[in-house]
Amino acid sequence: MKYVDEFRDPDTARKLVQQIQRLTDSIMAKRAEAGYTMPLQLMEFCGGHTHTIFRYGIEQLLPDTIELVHGPGCPVCVLPRGRVDDAVALASRPEVIFTTFGDAMRVPGSQKSLLQAKADGADIRMVYSPLDALKLAKENPEREVIFFALGFETTMPSTALTLLQAERQGITNFSLFCNHITTVPTIDAILGDPDMILDGFLAPGHVSMVIGEEPFQFVAKEFHKPLVITGFEPLDILQSLTMVLLQINEGRTEVENQYKRVVQKQGNSPGQQAIETVFEIRDFFELRGLGSVDHSGVRIRDAYARYDAERKFPLSLTGGGITVTDPAGCQCGDVLKGLIRPWQCTQFGEQCTPQTPMGALMVSSEGACAAYYQYSDVQELKLKRSHQKESVSA
Amino acid sequence: MSADVSQEKITLGTITMAHGSGGKAMEELIRTVFVEAFNSNHDNPQLASLEDQARFDLAALQQQGNRLAFTTDSYVVDPLFFPGGDIGKLAVTGTVNDLAMGGAKPLYLSCGFIIEEGLPIDTLKKVVRSMQQTAVEAGVSIVTGDTKVVHKGSCDKLFINTAGVGVIAEGVNISAHNAQAGDAIIINGYLGDHGAAIVDARGDLALQNTIESDCQPLNDLVQAMLAVCPDIHCLRDATRGGLATVLNEFAQASNCSMQVDETKLPIRDEVRGMCEILGLDPLYLANEGKLVAVVPAAAAEKLIAVMQNHRAGRHSTIIGQVKALSKPVSKPSVLMTTGFGSQRIVDRLVGEQLPRIC
């Protein structure tokens, strides 16, 4: 298939893997001289990258001295339970048609998921874009159509433009339940966490398409970590890893752009403008696993309050960002921060499986736990975990 | 006056609760829609007798084999008509194929219709004619049936159940438990066409596509395969859950590892393209005319030649091999060598990729 197969070519992959091996060897040799043997910790922030890494078995192509840390960049995964509860409450109102992207349907709330709410009679419909939701509003003037607005900056422009279109067309029975989150404060929170030792970042390509390269400069300048904006095909990932390793090997910390075929330095200004018009930064927003993070979410500006489901239908639970804690034993937070691997969580493959997810990382196909579960030998991983436990207690 | 007339026409042209009441309207519906179609060639005495059950001559059945195969399936696809097929064609091929996958020669089908009031009778007629056409193509008779009409909103337009019986010839012993290390894994053509066609037909995405469902009876192909290789080990049609699900079932039942090569999988560019856009995996997409066969390696080439000569198997190909369990994968599983040169596990699907595809 044209324009896709070129980015999955095994010969090019082999060459890149060889280069990665050489660079890693060189870096590790230098580190050994300095008496430092920790494997390299490289974080891919975005769930889309996590999915590609697993689907193409990229981890097994890499040297053991590279550990990929699967970051919190899956908006479905970091959706806190309280917000799911609110979504269920909104969807259960008799006048409401609640519209959502499919992968948010199975995220567990503290009582139920949207999928269970639908089975209990709520009118919940899967859509592919917010425009589909707006169309439903036009077709059902007697109902209130709420769109479950999710995602980082990638999906913000389409939500914003849909709201503006609703205003232009004078549609009043349409609103957004806004859970959009921002990339930069989230990365800032990760880098500021004293538990985290990261050597470099693969930054999200689609987000960068909107916000551009500049907002990531603080990673290189303040935190002195190399960062490469990365595309979503397997060769994109390998090439970006090479670029990060080159920087480490040469002692550089810069923002580089591997995904130039899509991402422009200054981003997409109509998209940025739409975001700016409709949204403002929240003081704080809760991200599952990371807790409350300052400025990590956006809300709808007062000028468009009539399109804000949170204001149209006051929510009792988490309107102010009150945390509903994860179930006991759930270690999504530690996995999101890269402190443990998904299979090291004691619930992985036990209480928590894709059929009965406890935490959000087991829900979305972009969640690190679901990816491990789907693409690895779960029994082997569980065995590995119990061996580890034994050696720790011994 | 004219308004009354048109109102009456609509009433005449749509299914009402009266059509399920057991009275005159129902009798007429059975006669003019179902019997009319299913006995169109006047070769269906079991149905034409209009008894409450179809009756078969045991001696005649025994001449064709030594075991009966019996199966049932229900069809709720949305939309009712899609490129390459419709719910009627699906209802016949689905049950015919379930029989065929046991090596049986399908003979007789029953059909149960659950109809939402308000369904245009023309729509029903189109579906029923399509069922008959498919039955003729598959060489089976629809010999008994049932109709229920439910209130608007109690079902979506039309649901169909079919059950079928067939006869298995002596010596044929196909089972998911029979895969052996070294066996070849065969598929009879392009994967995922049905699932992709249904997504496309729903029109939610406004994609300009030409993907048609692969919906087709496979019984004749299976008989042709058995003629050159009576010792087919496993056979299953890759419907809901797609190829990945069938291979996992085989691996589990036979306690082995099914190893497939991604570059050998026949997938149309249009289907791959749609999967890329929607984040679907073609390995899990439904098919309605695709079988997965596990056969002795020595018979594989011969089988492929016969299958490629058959209308239902033009693009048949070997996609992988059965291996005994060994490290690093020690539990029954499906392992795929990706086009990218790495290996990954192909697990069963969790939840549904798409609802109401068959």
| One-letter amino acid for residue A226 of the chain | P
Q: Among A75-89, A375-389, B111-125, name the most confident range.
A: B111-125
Domains of chain A: 5-73+196-257 (3.40.50.11750), 81-183+267-312 (3.40.50.11740), 332-393 (no CATH)
8 Å CB contact of A56 and B340: yes
Tell me what pLDDT residue A203 has. 95
Task: Using CB atoms, pick whichever of A10, A353, A355 lies closest to residue B339.
Answer: A10
Mutation site, B278, B350, B354, interface A, largest A CB count within 10 A = B350
Question: Which residues have C-beta within 8 Å of that of residue A253, sequence separation ≥ 6?
Answer: A220, A221, A224, A225, A226, A247
* Mean pLDDT, residues A114-137: 93
Tell me what pLDDT residue A191 has. 87
* Mean pLDDT, residues A83-97: 94
Tell me what pLDDT residue A128 has. 84
Tell me what pLDDT residue B14 has. 92
Between residues A207 and A390, which one has the greater pLDDT?
A: A207
Q: How big is the CA angle at A173 (ends A172 and A177), to the nearest 5 degrees?
A: 105
The 3-class secondary structure across chain B, one letter per residue, is CHHHHHHHHHHHHECCHHHHCCCHHHHHHHHHHHHHHHCCCCCCHHHHCCCCCCCCCHHHHHCCCCEEEEEEEEECCCCCEECCEEHHHHHHHHHHHHHHCCCEEEEEEEEEEEEECCCEHHHHHHHHHHHHHHHHHHCCEEEEEEEEEECCCCCCCEEEEEEEEEEECCCCCCCHHHCCCCCEEEECCCCCHHHHHHHHHHCCCCCCCCCCCCCCCCHHHHHHHHHHCCCCCEEEECCCCHHHHHHHHHHHHHCCEEEEEHHHCCCCHHHHHHHHHHCCCHHHCCCCCCEEEEECHHHHHHHHHHHHCCHHHCCCEEEEEEECCECCECCCEEEEECCCCCEEECCCCCCCCCCCCC
What's the whole-model pTM score?
Answer: 0.82
Can you point out the beta strands (E) in chain A?
40-46, 66-73, 96-100, 124-126, 144-151, 174-180, 200-204, 227-230, 255-257, 279-281, 284-287, 291-294, 298-300
Task: Using CB atoms, pick whichever of A128, A234, A375 lies closest to residue B340.
Answer: A234
Task: Using CB atoms, pick whichever of B204, B331, B342 lies closest to residue A58.
Answer: B342
A235 vs A4: CA distance, rounded Å: 10
Shortest distance, CA A17 to any CA of chain B (angstroms) = 11
Tell me what pLDDT residue B180 has. 97
> Which H or E run contains A249?
helix A234-250
Q: What is the DSSP letter of A345?
A: S
Q: What is the DSSP letter of A344?
A: G
Residue A142: count of CB within 10 angstroms of its CB: 6
A362 vs A359: CA distance, rounded Å: 6
Between residues A42 and A10, which one has the greater pLDDT?
A: A42
Q: What is the DSSP letter of A326?
A: P
Q: Are A225 and A199 in contact (CB under 8 A)?
A: yes
Question: Which residues have C-beta within 8 Å of that of residue B324, sequence separation ≥ 6?
Answer: B181, B256, B257
Measured between CA atoms, the residue of chain A closest to residue B272 is A1
Between residues A322 and A328, which one has the greater pLDDT?
A: A328
Q: Residue A90 above 70 pLDDT?
A: yes
User: What DSSP line would sit under A38-97, residue for residue?
Assistant: PPEEEEEEEHHHHHHHHHTTHHHHS-TTEEEEEEEE-TTTT--HHHHHHHHHHHTSTTEE
Shortest distance, CA A6 to any CA of chain B (angstroms) = 11
8 Å CB contact of B205 and A128: yes
Tell me what pLDDT residue A62 has. 94
The 3-class secondary structure across B229-271, one letter per residue, is CCCCCEEEECCCCHHHHHHHHHHHHHCCEEEEEHHHCCCCHHH
Mutation site, B204, B261, B267, B340, interface A, largest A CB count within 10 A = B340
Q: Pairing state of beta strands A96-100 and A124-126? A: parallel
What are B254-291's pLDDT values in tens digits?
999 999 999 999 999 999 988 887 778 899 999 999 99
Between residues A329 and A297, which one has the greater pLDDT?
A: A297
8 Å CB contact of B340 and A377: no
Q: How far is CA B326 from CA B257, B258, B260, B333, in A?
A: 8, 12, 16, 11
Tell me what pLDDT residue A109 has. 86
Tell me what pLDDT residue B5 has. 41
Between residues B1 and A248, which one has the greater pLDDT?
A: A248
**Can you name the residues that pair with B147 across neighbouring β-strands?**
B113
Chain A residues with CB under 8 Å of B204 CB are 128, 132
Tell me what pLDDT residue A137 has. 97
* Mean pLDDT, residues A233-240: 95
Shortest distance, CA B188 to any CA of chain A (angstroms) = 21
User: Both tokens of residue B351?
Assistant: 């939840």
CA B227 to chain centre: 22
Q: Are A372 and A381 in contact (CB under 8 A)?
A: yes
> Which H or E run contains A278?
helix A269-278
Residue A240: count of CB within 10 angstroms of its CB: 28
- Please provide the average confidence, as pLDDT, over all residues in chain A: 89
Q: Residue A319 above 50 pLDDT?
A: no
A238 vs A198: CA distance, rounded Å: 18
A91 vs A104: CA distance, rounded Å: 13
What are A158-190's pLDDT values in tens digits?
999 999 999 999 999 999 999 999 999 989 988
8 Å CB contact of B350 and A355: yes
Chain B residues with CB under 8 Å of A1 CB are 269, 272-273, 276
Domains of chain B: 2-168 (3.30.1330.10), 176-345 (3.90.650.10)
Is the dihedral angle over the CA atoms A303, A309, A310, A314 positive or is it negative? positive
Three-state secondary structure call for residue A183: helix
Tell me what pLDDT residue B227 has. 96
Q: Pairing state of beta strands A66-73 and A96-100? A: unpaired
8 Å CB contact of A10 and B269: no
8 Å CB contact of A57 and B328: no
Spans of chain B below 50 pLDDT: 1-11
